[in-house]
Structure 1
Amino acid sequence: MPDPRQPIRPLSVWATGQQHPRRQRAHRYSPASTAHPAKMLPALARHIIATFTRPGDLILDPMCGIGTSCVEAAHLARHAIGVEYEPRWATIARANAALAAGQGAPGTIRIITADARGLPAIAPADAAGTVALVLTSPPYGKATHGQVHADRSRGVHKRDFQYGHGAGNLARHLARHAGLVRADRAVALLAGLRGTRLIPRTTFFALHNARAARDAGIPLHVVAHEDVLLLRRLDGSGPGRRAT
């Protein structure tokens, strides 16, 4: 719920899809990173980190996946802690952190394989009270993302389109009350902007979902953006810069 004491500013639109996602990740992420079903756009992570933090700040991603937010933070001279529930993605996140370090990223990255509901107990002791920004992208439904392989003999097959089935996965739970209130909202474009034209970056799954909905009589359009909610502490304590 919005804080009634704070006026909500007009919606902001961020041009984070100017480059294709493959180009955004080229040379900065390991090839295994492509398997993740819902990767954050590196340009989106960079924009948020550069806007809401300063060099030397600490970033926390409690559902870090392949570590996009952590990698981009390190390249921007911030430090990052990433928590990932599933060991497969945590292993890839560590590989991406090592790649960033090898490329001279000035920030540091710590990846923890754990259930983020255990925070702050699982976080390093020196991180207590020092996080400047919580940046995360919660898990999505299984029909939205993934990888597709097609051949004439077997047809279309999907892979890496869902998370694990463990009961502790945060995709299976509602978010708990954390003392945060909405400060603003933004739209991060998945499409590119060329003058007055939008350049689509449409996935197979987005097209499939839209076509299936239209066949069922639902006038669904292909989504060309992600919603970004900017939250802050209700009590005003801490560094005061929060986004998710």
Structure 2
Amino acid sequence: MVPSVLATGQVPSRVQRRGRYLPESMRHPGKMLPSIASTVISLFSEPGGLVVDPMCGIGTTLVEAVHLGRDAAGMEYEADFAGLAAANVQHARSQGAAGSARVACGDARNIASVFAGLRGSAALVLTSPPYGARTHGHIRSGTRDGDGGPVEKWNHRYSTDKGNLAHQPLPELVGAFGEILAGCCELLRPDGVVAVTIRPIRIDGYLVDLPGQVITAAEKAGLVLVHRLVALLCGVRDGGLVTRASFFQMLEARRHQEKGSPVCVTAHEDLLIFHRRVPHG
């Protein structure tokens, strides 16, 4: 039985990655939490199975898969991050990971042709779309550090390449993600699973149901939603929640609350689980 809430935030992200990933991996602005990847891979695949991530970033899905004895394949648009994903996989192998993985650099909408030799063989597709061209990234706040200086930000952009889907307006991004999922369907085994981690986002102050839009796009791509789970980003301790929110997330939530808006820091991601639609007749 699949649990409805996954306790994936018990340990902070930086601790989960320490020693397991190359230090430069922290440059990526939108990394999947390793514990989410490892939990999903353990739940929905078996050792020796194939795990695919069409938007693999620095390779979190691939690294966790090979450590769990699965094989993996990933695509990444940015050559810099694709190279880092391959290096992280090699690092995992040097630590004794039993699985193997391959990384391709390119547009994930072409994944079915790039990995044509894997058609019909993937047990699991696990991925997450970008949330836009920028994230909070890393910051240094003069207010927080006590010197009264300005806020400095770095590692907060996916890229400067306008061809990256992160730069597209939301409707185009969601539509392209649907195309990617359709290509991934061609790689799936008949009993394969597609898992997408996603959360609502705010655009110009308005809350947008991005999980709902992804569900609609996935259904158009030939998938059927079978579970909508909660993957915690916060810790659970003594019956309460331990926030893992960044300084900026806390600051933004506080500003909205002072204006009377019921905004809270993000404590979880939706984990959407899909099966392929079975043709009737």
Shift of 1:165: 4.2
What TM-score do the two structures reach when normalised by structure 2?
Answer: 0.76
> Is the 8 Å Cα contact of residues 76 and 107 (structure 1) preserved in structure 2?
yes
Q: Deviations over 1:156-201 (max 9, x none)?
A: 1111212224343233222323211111111111111113021111
In 1, the alpha carbon distance for the partners of 2:47 and 2:225 equals 25
Percent of pairs with identical residues? 46
- Inter-CA distance 77–10: structure 2 relative to 1 (3 Å threshold): closer
Whole-angstrom CA distance in 2 between matches of 1:188 and 1:40: 11
Does 1:130 pair with 2:121? yes
Corresponding residue of 1:83: 75
Match of 1:6 in 2: none
Q: What's the secondary structure of 2:114's corresponding residue?
A: coil
Q: Which residues in structure 2 correspond to 1:58-69 (within 5 Å)?
A: 58-69=50-61
**What is the DSSP-based 3-state SS (H/G/I as helix, E as strand, rest coil) of the residue aligned with 1:120?**
helix
Deviation at 1:38, TM superposition (A): 1.2
Equivalences for residues 133-172 of structure 1 within 5 A: 133-141=124-132, 144-151=135-142, 152=147, 154-171=149-166, 172=168
Counterpart residue identity of residue 271, structure 2? V
- Consecutive unaligned residues of structure 1, counting only runs of 5 or more, are 1-8, 237-244
Partner residue, 2:227: 184
Distance in 1 of aligned mates of 2:84 and 2:90:
10
TM-score under structure 1 length normalisation: 0.86
C-alpha RMSD over aligned residues: 2.1
Q: Are the equivalent residues in 1 in contact too, given 2:133–2:159 (CA < 8 A)? A: no
- The 1:143/1:115 distance shift into structure 2, 3 A limit, reads closer
Contact 1:59-1:132 within 8 A present in 2 as well: yes
- Structure 2 unaligned segments of length 5 or more: list them: 179-219
**1:194 maps to which residue?**
237
> Which deviates the most, 161-170 or 33-42?
161-170
Which one-letter code corresponds to 2:228 in the other structure? R
Pick the structure with more helix per residue. Answer: 2
Deviations 1:60-87 (A, max 9, x none): 1001011000000000000010100111
- Structure 1 runs of 4+ aligned residues shifted over 6 Å read none
Structure 1 residue corresponding to 2:111, chosen from 119, 134, 138? 119
Quote how far apart the aligned CAs of 1:111 are. 0.9
CA 1:196–1:143 in 2, change beyond 3 Å: closer, same or farther?
farther
Summarize deviations over 1:19-78 as a string: whole Å, max 9, x none.
111111111101111111111111110100000000111011001011000000000000
- Give, in angstroms, the shift of residue 11 of structure 1: 7.8
Q: CA deviation at 1:126?
A: 2.9
Whichever residue aligns with residue 205 of structure 1, its letter is F
Larger RCO: 1 or 2 (CA < 8 Å, sep 6+): 1
Tell me how far apart the structure 2 counterparts of residues 225 and 122 of structure 1 sit (CA, whole Å).
33
Partner of 1:242: none
Q: Alpha-carbon deviation of 1:91? A: 1.7
